[in-house]
Amino acid sequence: MSGTSDKEFYKLFGYITIFIILLAIIITILSKVFASSVTNDNYDTVKEKATEERLLSSEKINLASNPTFKTEVIEVSSTKSGKDIYNSVCMSCHMSGAAGAPITGKVDQWSERIAKGSDTLYNNAINGIGVMPAKGGLMSLSDDDVKLAVDYMIDQSK
């Protein structure tokens, strides 16, 4: 008598175990399908939103450390001053001296460069020099934007 109910117990136990395992597999599959469909549907919107936010806060973020910014078209409005452009694009290197950049405001680091003349500095800032990428890495800047920023830097450093 007790042998039979043990057998039945193990049978039932076996079924329940299999049922739970199947359930786990189904949930895993469903969640994968669901997750990937959500990602695909929303990817563009999410990306657009993130880009928009980045544009809005372009003055607060460190553009040079953002590996994606070079491929994105970031509009820096032409009404921006040299100071604005400097703050959003150039400051990341030129405030700290990262990668050997001459530090804005340090007269001794700039006097020799300033002596080369503004046109040379403009050209080097626009085309890049040494480790410095052309236009500080933000190719959507116009040449005039870069010149404004250079003027600002020179002004702060003499």
**How many whole angstroms separate alpha carbon 142 and alpha carbon 150?**
13
CA neighbor of 158 nearest in space, from 113, 121, 120: 113
Q: Write down the least CB distance from residue 138 to ligand HEC, Å.
A: 7
- Kindly state the smallest distance separating residue 135's Cβ from ligand HEC, in Å: 6
Residue closer to ligand HEC (CB basis): 33 or 99: 99
CB 91 within 8 A of CB 61: no
Binding positions for ligand HEC, rule: CB under 6 A: 64, 89-90, 92-94, 98-102, 113, 116, 120-121, 124-125, 129-133, 135-137, 146, 149-150, 153
Nearer to ligand HEC, 28 or 127 (CB): 127
Minimal distance, residue 128 CB to ligand HEC, in Å: 9
Count Cβ atoms within 10 A of the Cβ of residue 60 and give its class: 0-12 exposed, 13-18 middle, 19 or more buried: exposed
Which of residues 3 and 67 has its CB atom nearest to ligand HEC in the complex?
A: 67
Gap between the Cα atoms of 134 and 58, Å rounded: 19
